[in-house]
Chain A
Amino acid sequence: MSSIASFLPPPKHEDKSESTVKNYSTLNNINNSVSAPKAVPGSNALVPSSDPNGRINYGELAKHGSGSNMAQTRLVQTSAEDMIPLRQRAHIGKINLDRPDQQSIESTVKKTQYALQNIMTAKKDATKAVSDHSKSVKPVYIRYTPSSKYNQPPAKERLVQIIEKAMDPMEPSRLKVAKIPRRPPSPPAPILREPPKPVTAEERANWYVPPSVSNWKNPKGYTITLDKRVAANGYGDKEDIEINEKFVDLSAALELADQEAREEVSKRSKARREAAEQERKEKDARLRELAAQARKAQYSKYSNHENSNHEDTDERKRIRQRRYSDDSDDEHAAQLRRKERQNQMLMAERAMRLSKMNDQNKAQLLMADEDRDISEKVALGVSLTTKLSGEDIFDSRLFNKDANISKYNEDQVYDQPLFARQEALRNLYRAPVMQKSGAVAAEKELSDIQNEQIFDELSSSKAFQGGEAHEGPVSFKKDE
């Protein structure tokens, strides 16, 4: 029994809590001691009642509220039995599900209507509180005789007229309307459901929603690790990227088609090349034939007209003879040319040899040639690359770094921005270059600006230097 008492929620309203706690304790006492308690006069402590079976009626506890007649009107389900479906309860017998008969419904409706009408009329009257002033009450006359005082003659009878004092109907009330505090709420109903189950870690994990991480905005510049970014897209690890098999088919088909097309193209180009070759050969053959024909024809011509051509050859001979005789030092020039040619041949030969030499030999040869001291390092491509052993290999990027390399940050791979230097160079202020110094330069600048010709003036004499100034369109004269 005490379990049900503890099952009831503690009352929430404060003003009653003390007394209710008292009630609880009284009830518990009753459980322990069989002696029936008696109501203490003046106390609002609840006196438990018991049903014919001797069981204490705990419903009283939940009904014991602020309203005076609440105990009568309110139906409170307090027993554990109220949680069992009606048909499954023991000793329930036949359940009556009939609606109340028409008569009782009518009486209920009538009662309700009466109650509601009362409320409505009360509301209507409240709005009509400003009384009709037109309906003024008639004055009342009272005959009044003041009581005679001791040792004085009796007072005269007076007529008193009583009238209602004229009031400004719009005048605000002089009475201060104090707000009546709300009645404490009725005690909470006993909760007849099982308490919510505590959330398990697994359930909580299932309901966990990772904080939103934007891929576009990070105004505070927090470093966001990759796994957080992945988690933020809402799928977490559950995301299974499934690529449709048809993509594979498509790429295979494309590849096949490409291969076929290439083969076809190469075949076609090969055929075309062969055809071209054939054609060329044919053409060559034809030309050769033509040439042979022509040669033949010429030969036949020569053989035919040897005599007629004789004069012509004579003439040619004569010309040749004349040319030889003209240049007295022709022989000398020919010699020079021959020498030159030989020289060039030698040079070319040497160049070829040089080109075939390796770099080192070449450099040595060149050094010897030009009588210059060229160190091995300066000579391009001559220096022997020294082989670096394991310890000597450095990443040049590490040279200018601070010592705190241990603070490696995977999101910040680069220690310097890629284009920072260019940016800096562009933003650098450079003074305009001036060859001449001071005033001279300034003067020149000024004169330059002043003499600068923005527009070419066609009409000015300057445009046609040497010509004369003219008016109207330019006329051209014919040259004789």
Chain B
Amino acid sequence: MQDHLQWTLHRVITGHGGWVRSVCVDPANQWFATGSADRTIKLWNLATGDLLLTLTGHIMAPRALAVSERHPYLFSAGEDKSVKCWDLETNKVVRQYHGHLSAVYALDIHPSLDIFATAGRDSTVRVWDMRTREAIYILDGHKSTVHALKCQAADPQIISGSADATIRLWDLAAGKTSAVLTHHKKSVRALALHPREFTFASASADNIKQWRLPEGSFMLNFESQDAIFNTLALNHDNVCFAGSDDGQMVFYDWSSGSVFQSCETTNVPGSLDSEKGIMASTFDMTGLRLITCESDKSIKIWKEIER
């Protein structure tokens, strides 16, 4: 097992008026965006934690955010069935992608093509052409809400995890399922792709499992925890973070799947015990900061303890 440093709370950012449900980091690592149940998307300075911008336009909580590396666009998908493309030069919605029949819960941009995929409560995965606003594919096959979605350049280009306890790997060129992974017992709420290895992890209430691509063979069961994991985050140092619904934070070593740190989030003073819950999380581009979005309406930034 690799030696990992312990993580500690570095900064608490308040400002949202509801559960903070989604987060994404600018590819240039200057700022990050969060979407909250107060129907706003807020952009924050990553270094100082200052509020840069508030984007309003969604009429329900934005549940997924993504910033494109190759465009000045921020994509957001909300519970209001809408998928919006924000131009970050004018801070306005430039495109809307209509088609989802219900809330949209996940969104990811293809790293090398001008397409992105969304998935949601209508149990479909939709692949959109950015420019024409057309749905290229409506990938159906899941039998329940799709909670998590990841895109990558190599096949399988789309991976989706659903509440029917399956993970589907999709063949994007053919628009078909290439494999169905049925090892999980409970709904899959989060996925994380490894930045270097050709592997990914999926979090479910029963276990966090690690898979090898491209065929999706089952690699590893992470040390089991009694929690419902909402989110997974993974950095270059093989630190895998899992945030649970009851505020439990578990840091795993990626290669062994063992826990090297397990703690609870710190409550924001004045919040209830029941408001301890981690909704979304991500590492920044360097992997040295962990941003967690919580149901006590705060955003917390964690860092490693220096030796």
Contacts and interface: CB of A to CB of B under 8 A. Distances in A.
A73 interface: yes
A213 B96 CA distance: 48
Given A97-B199, A105-B154, A112-B173, A77 B179 contact: yes
A114 B136 CA distance: 13
Interface centre among B113, B166, B173, B181 (most CB of A within 10 A): B173
A116 B113 contact: yes
A87 to B, nearest CB: 7
Given A85-B218, A115-B174, A189 B182 contact: yes
A73 B176 CA distance: 9
A74 B216 CA distance: 11
B236 interface: no
A87 B220 CA distance: 8
Nearest to B197: A97
Nearest to B256: A87
Contacts of B220: 85-87
A354 interface: no
A100 B215 CA distance: 13
Nearest to B184: A193
Nearest to A97: B197
Contacts of A194: 185
B84 to A, nearest CB: 21
A95 B212 contact: yes
A111 B173 contact: yes
A86 B219 contact: yes
A113 B185 contact: no
A108 B219 contact: no
Contacts, number: 110
Given A105-B153, A108-B154, A73 B180 contact: no
A185 B171 CA distance: 16
A123 B134 contact: yes
Interface residues on B, range: 35 or more
B115 interface: yes
Interface in A78-111: 82-87, 95, 97-100, 104-105, 108-109, 111
A253 to B, nearest CB: 33
B54 interface: no
A87 B176 CA distance: 29
Interface string B100-129: 000000000000110100000000000001
B237 to A, nearest CB: 16
B218 A109 contact: no
B48 interface: no
A67 interface: yes
Contacts of B166: 189
Given A112-B172, A120-B132, A120-B136, A97 B198 contact: yes
A75 B176 contact: no
- What's the dominant secondary structure at chain B's contact region? loop
A113 B115 CA distance: 10
B8 interface: no
A193 B185 contact: yes
Contact of A115 (B173, B182, B198, B214): B173
Contacts of A191: 182
A9 to B, nearest CB: 10
Given A109-B113, A120-B134, A186 B174 contact: no
A192 interface: yes
A48 interface: no
B113 A113 contact: yes
B68 interface: no
A42 interface: no
A99 B154 contact: yes
B153 A75 contact: no
Interface in B128-172: 129, 132, 134, 136-137, 141, 153-155, 157, 165-166, 169, 171-172
Interface in A113-168: 113-116, 119-120, 123
A112 B110 CA distance: 11
A10 interface: no
B178 interface: yes
Given A119-B136, A120-B132, A120-B134, A74 B179 contact: yes
Interface in B85-108: none
A71 interface: no
A73 B170 CA distance: 10
A92 to B, nearest CB: 10
Contacts of B180: 76, 189
Contacts of A116: 113, 115, 129, 136, 172-173
A109 B153 contact: yes
A76 B179 contact: yes
Nearest to B156: A75
Nearest to B134: A123
B182 A85 contact: no
B166 to A, nearest CB: 7
A189 B169 CA distance: 12
5 tightest Cβ-Cβ pairs between the two chains A and B: A189-B180, A75-B179, A115-B173, A97-B197, A86-B219
Given A75-B179, A77-B217, A193-B183, 6 more contacts: A73-B176, A83-B218, A84-B218, A85-B218, A86-B212, A86-B220
14 contacts: A73-B171, A73-B178, A74-B178, A75-B178, A82-B218, A83-B218, A98-B198, A108-B173, A112-B173, A115-B174, A116-B113, A116-B129, A120-B132, A189-B182
Interface of A: 67, 70, 73-77, 82-87, 95, 97-100, 104-105, 108-109, 111-116, 119-120, 123, 185-186, 189-194, 196
